[in-house]
Structure 1
């Protein structure tokens, strides 16, 4: 087991799966958390797994109730890397899909983790976030994105 992850939505989960497999890992995606016995019996030859979730749609209260046990279950697999895949548009808010709330939960579940690295964007999909600004590839251009509106080409 090299990595396990929770994706905050299905498309993000498949993006993470694609990035890991493109990087040479053999990773499988589940719709629900696998148990240790199932993993050991049928999937232990894989480098890791992901769980496609719906954290992006949850309130902070729902996250506390739902994500705490999910992150605890992921930690039980003792992978050197446990990853929470956030949406590449980085459109969380304090009331829906709060990345801050996920970080708070993660710090409780992984108390020995000194730092919480945060990477937003998906370069393989030509999506980037720099200092709170979202950029995306559009043809040969890189453009700044605000919501669904394209602002201007930066290239």
Structure 2
């Protein structure tokens, strides 16, 4: 099943058109590399993703979607998200470092909202990486509280937000 979302004119992808499709088991290693290699999780945040793995079982259990650059013959994955339905949560959202600032994250959030609406959800919770809070707020998430630190992997408090799904 191929899922795509039309791009809005404000999206300027890295090389060509960006398509969103359902992740498949063979994407697992690429998604794991995106998570572990993210500049957002260097320094003090590195411990949180050091051993993190997005496995084929995770992809099968949740609604995981990838953004691919269709303008590149290799169709590289430039971002992804995971929507957990019960309880409703945006569990993961990553955009490749070299693609950030070009609308891929906004496209993924718009796609996630569409998926949530189709699943009958009225809201989606997200526990944000602290540096990502501004992005989430800019795409419609509303602050709801703070998730307390959970050492050793997560040694800092994290903002909790919620996307209303109209």
Instruction: Report if TM-score (shorter chain) is over 0.5.
Output: no
Q: Which has the higher contact order (CA 8 A, sep 6+)?
A: 1
Q: TM-score by structure 1 length?
A: 0.35
Q: TM-score by structure 2 length?
A: 0.33
Compare CA radii of gyration and give the structure with the larger one: 1
